[in-house]
Amino acid sequence: MRRLNRRKTLNLVKELDAFPKVPDSYVETSASGGTVYQDTWMKYEYEVDKDFSSKLRINIDITVAMKCQYVGADVLDLAETMVASADGLVYEPVIFDLSPQQKEWQRMLQLIQSRLQEEHSLQDVIFKSAFKSASTALPPREDDSSQSPDACRIRGHLYVNKVAGNFHITVGKAIPHPRGHAHLAALVNHDSYNFSHRIDHLSFGELIPGIINPLDGTEKITIDHNQMFQYFITVVPTKLHTYKISADTHQFSVTERERIINHAAGSHGVSGIFMKYDLSSLMVTVTEEHMPFWQFFVRLCGIVGGIFSTTGMLHGIGKFIVEIICCRFRLGAYKPVHSVPFEDGHTDNHLPLLENNTH
């Protein structure tokens, strides 16, 4: 049953076209029509990230089960710098429930995520196929629903300082404050709180089609009005160099936590979605490499030489067997002639002479 589910998942990966089929060894055919095969692999190198002056781009596509006028999104970093949501985020009223085609897209994305957690080598295949496959963004609705929007899709990008920060979506629009910032939550009815959400995409750095990030396809449903969702993210700067692209992007790992805000029980905080990110001091350079031509040529000569040696050895063994069989046949052709007895008891062991009859 598990083998069947594995095969089904890989077929869904091909349908999504996020990356090609995964063989046991990653093999590419050359431009000469597949006569020569060349292995490629991903090489990982680590060094200290010395770039602290540039900005970090955050790409966001999150849908919250609340109307847009009731929620606000912004970023507050450790430098107490607030990034206004109007700079790059768009609030779009939508229907929270997905259409059938969108549900199929989400199901395939979640299956791919489960396979990535079990087989980490698939990440190398994703790197190789970046920009080669179609975008993994949420497809538009195919049905013409007359249902009024009940959710808010917050999408776009922000540029923040390369320091730890907190991107959050909570009740009320954000306003600047001398000591930080605040949200106008007092104007929103508490019964309308619902932070059920779906993360269609979240990434850091340059937006690369075909790359699947750890939180893509995540969906959280809650029935409590005072729910807090927390994501603790560690961002790793990554330089990606393949035969298809060269890009400056970021990988990240994440841990999740959720709890109900209940001040009477000692669970303090604010209802909402909080993504606390921190940057790693190390930078990873991922480079796609292949076997040098001279090494490939040496291996090819070794293979050809091995074929000739094996053929010669088999030829020698076959010749030896044939000679043994033919020798036995020749020995069987010269069997001794039976002796001819005389009247006095002696025998004649000589072959009879041929008589030459002349007329």
- Give residue-wise pLDDT tens across range 126-169: 665 655 555 567 788 877 667 889 999 999 998 888 889 999 99
- pLDDT over threshold 70, residue 58: yes
State the pLDDT at residue 134. 52
pLDDT bracket for residue 26 (50, 70, 90): very low
List, in sequence order, every residue forming a beta bridge with 31; answer none if it has no partner.
none
Among the listed ranges 52-56, 173-177, 280-284, which one has the minimum average pLDDT value?
173-177
Residue 341 CA: distances (Å) to CA of 7, 41, 59, 61, 354: 86, 88, 114, 114, 19
* pTM (predicted TM-score): 0.67
Mean pLDDT for 93-114 is 87
pLDDT bracket for residue 16 (50, 70, 90): very low
State the pLDDT at residue 43. 82
State the pLDDT at residue 11. 53
- Percent composition of the chain: helix, strand, coil (DSSP 3-state, to 5): 25, 35, 35
Mean pLDDT for 345-351 is 52
List, in sequence order, every residue forming a beta bridge with 169; answer none if it has no partner.
73, 273
Give the type of residue at 300.
L
State the pLDDT at residue 218. 92
Q: What are the φ/ψ torsions at residue 30 (nearest 5 degrees)?
A: -80, 175
Beta strands in 106-196 (DSSP E): 151-161, 165-171, 174-177, 180-183
Total Cβ atoms within 10 A of residue 127:
25
Range picked from 43-52, 89-98, 113-122 for highest mean pLDDT: 89-98
Range picked from 17-31, 249-263, 290-304, 340-354 for highest mean pLDDT: 249-263
pLDDT bracket for residue 5 (50, 70, 90): low
Domain boundaries, the chain: 46-290, 292-329
pLDDT bracket for residue 27 (50, 70, 90): very low
- pLDDT over threshold 60, residue 291: yes
pLDDT bracket for residue 269 (50, 70, 90): confident
State the pLDDT at residue 36. 45
Phi-psi sector, 21: left (phi>0), alpha (psi -120 to 50), beta = beta
Range picked from 129-138, 193-202, 209-218 for highest mean pLDDT: 193-202
